[in-house]
Chain A
Amino acid sequence: MKIAIAGKGGTGKTTIVGTLARVFARQGRQVLAIDADSNPNLALTLGLSREQTAALVPLPRTLLEERTDAAGAKTVVLRLSPDEIAQQFGVSTPDGVRMILMGKVDHAGAG
């Protein structure tokens, strides 16, 4: 199941989705939680302490690379595979939910 939750800021979606993630995890499912909100708050709901939350590393800006192929077409490529991203930047939380903090990812070399 791949769930996106959205709504006006402050409507409680983070509380809902974070708690949902933990309930799924307690049911024995493997859960990946991605915080893609510009005001990231998911970590606390997932059970990380304030200190752990402050120490979270968002995905780096350079994760994407713009490449131009021989024909001159531009494509955007991820420098790491999704597995590597989850491994390197994912954080384990108390119920086993793996969390990724999106941060700002833009094209490398764009200045």
Chain B
Amino acid sequence: MRHVIGALLEQESTVTVVDMEAGLEHLSRGTGRHVDTLIVTLEPYYKSLETARRCAELGREIGIPRIVAVANKTRDDEDRAAIQEFAARHGLTLIGEIPMDDRLRKADLAGRAPIDEIDSPAIEAIRSLVVSLNQPA
């Protein structure tokens, strides 16, 4: 599988995104060199934070040049603080925070894609991510 991912990453699209498992099984030192940015997602609970931390570490081992973290589904200041504190303690660079947004759940149930939701704080936060990602590493 790594060979296929590696080959696809060599493709000439301007942006390639890969949705994958936390264990980064589809990447190796070989294919990993084609990935320039790893985004790890952090939810405000321990298992998610730990998984993200390990994932970032794996990313470093593989040699991915830019590793960033995004806080997701935060509900209140306590959630935000917990994630920021964890990120700081483990050297994770937080580039954005996506709040819990019930609109996404409702859109999902109605068969609508998230991007078409109007006035969604979560979607607005994702759009801001694009700005951060477009900055040179």
CB contact between A23 and one of B47, B70, B115 (< 8 Å): that residue: B115
Chain B residues with CB under 8 Å of chain A are: 1, 3-5, 7-11, 13-24, 26-27, 34-43, 47-48, 51-52, 55, 59, 64, 70, 72-73, 98, 104, 108, 111, 113-115, 122-123, 126-127, 129-130, 133
Is A20 in contact with B130, judged by CB distance below 8 angstroms?
A: yes
**Residues on B with beta carbons closer than 8 Å to the beta carbon of A24:** 14-15, 130
Closest to B128 in A: A23
Number of A-B residue pairs with CB-CB distance less than 8 Å in the complex they form: 210
Instruction: For B113, give its contact among A2, A11, A35, A46 (CB under 8 Å).
Output: A46
Q: Is A108 an interface residue (CB 8 A)?
A: no
B9→A11 contact, CB < 8 A: no
Q: Are A4 and B64 in contact (CB under 8 A)?
A: yes
Tell me whether chain B's interface is mostly helix, strand or loop, or mixed: mixed
Most A CB contacts (10 A, CB to CB) among B8, B14, B129 go to B8
**Minimum CB–CB distance for B93 against chain A, Å:** 15
Residue numbers in B under 8 Å from A106 (CB-CB): 1
A selection of 27 A-B contacts at a CB cut-off of 8 Å is A1-B133, A3-B37, A3-B133, A4-B27, A4-B59, A6-B21, A7-B55, A8-B51, A11-B72, A12-B72, A13-B19, A13-B72, A16-B70, A17-B39, A18-B113, A22-B113, A33-B17, A33-B19, A34-B18, A36-B5, A36-B19, A44-B111, A44-B113, A63-B4, A76-B3, A82-B10, A106-B1
